[in-house]
């Protein structure tokens, strides 16, 4: 499957100098990404990335910027967003034994497995953008329905301690 925003780079073509790329999503790509991330509209998505060989893989750094509208988590009303996010990813070949559990350290959390000889800088930008989106955007004035108590206002129930009967003797 080809991602909505695809800018493939062959790893073996990377030389001693970094490979720099400016990405600007075209209207059809923005529309497809809006569907993928459940947005009302994605007006702009750009990325300025630099890929360089790294011990055991490729390190990609740069920035992703975007603006548009996403639905309010409570009312569905449009909520404007503006994103300007740093990108720092590592692509690496990961040797795995089938059926064996893999434990990740904190350093591995931004590591993406290289599949073959190609990495997709467009997909890396799209994923970085998706992670930067507010998962629960709220429109101004949007409030929880009266039947729902906000978490910070919940009063724990006072339940009798079942072991109190043992104290009485």
Number of domains observed in the structure of the chain: 1
Task: Compute the distance between CA of residue 5 and CA of residue 31 in angstroms, rounded to an integer.
Answer: 10
Q: Is residue 97 part of a domain?
A: yes
**Does 16 fall in a domain?**
yes
For residue 136, tell me if it sits in a domain: yes
The greatest distance separating any two alpha carbons of the chain, rounded to the nearest whole angstrom, comes to 81
Q: In what order do the strands lie in the sheet with 111-113?
A: 19-24, 41-54, 57-71, 78-92, 111-113
Residue 116 lies in a domain: yes
Would you say the pTM of this structure is higher than 0.85? no
What pLDDT is attached to residue 4?
Answer: 93
Query: Could you tell me if residue 153 is inside a domain?
Result: no
Please tell me the predicted confidence (pLDDT) of residue 135.
Answer: 94
Q: Please give the DSSP secondary-structure letter assigned to residue 67.
A: E
Q: Which of 36, 38, 62, 58 is nearest to 125 (CA)?
A: 62
102-106, 118-122, 123-127, 142-146: range with lowest mean pLDDT: 102-106
Residue 158 within any structural domain of the chain: no
pLDDT for 7-38, tens place per residue?
999 998 898 899 999 999 999 999 999 999 99
Q: Determine the structural domain holding residue 27 and report its residue range.
A: 8-143
Long-range contacts of 133-137 (CB under 8 A, 24+ apart): 133/37, 133/39, 133/70, 133/81, 133/83, 134/70, 134/79, 134/81, 135/73, 136/73, 137/70, 137/71, 137/72, 137/73, 137/79, 137/81
The answer to whether residue 159 sits within a structural domain is no
Predicted local confidence at residue 18, as pLDDT? 94
82 has which bridge partners?
Answer: 67
Query: Does residue 34 belong to any structural domain of this protein?
Result: yes
């Amino acid at each position: 499957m080809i991602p909505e925003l695809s800018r493939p780079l062959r790893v073996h073509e990377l030389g001693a100098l970094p490979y720099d790329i400016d990405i600007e999503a075209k209207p059809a790509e923005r529309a497809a990404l809006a569907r993928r991330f459940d947005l009302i509209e994605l007006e702009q998505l750009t990325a300025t990335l630099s890929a360089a060989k790294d011990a055991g893989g490729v390190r990609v750094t740069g920035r992703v910027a975007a603006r548009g509208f996403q639905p309010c988590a409570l009312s569905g009303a449009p909520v404007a967003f503006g994103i300007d996010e740093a990108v720092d990813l590592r692509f690496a070949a990961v040797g795995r034994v089938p059926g064996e559990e893999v434990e990740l350290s904190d350093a591995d959390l931004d590591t993406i497995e290289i599949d073959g000889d190609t990495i997709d800088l467009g997909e890396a930008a799209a994923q970085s953008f998706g992670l930067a989106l507010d998962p629960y955007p709220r429109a101004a004035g949007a409030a929880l329905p009266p039947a729902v108590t906000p978490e910070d206002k919940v009063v724990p129930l006072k339940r009798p301690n079942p072991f109190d009967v043992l104290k009485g003797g």
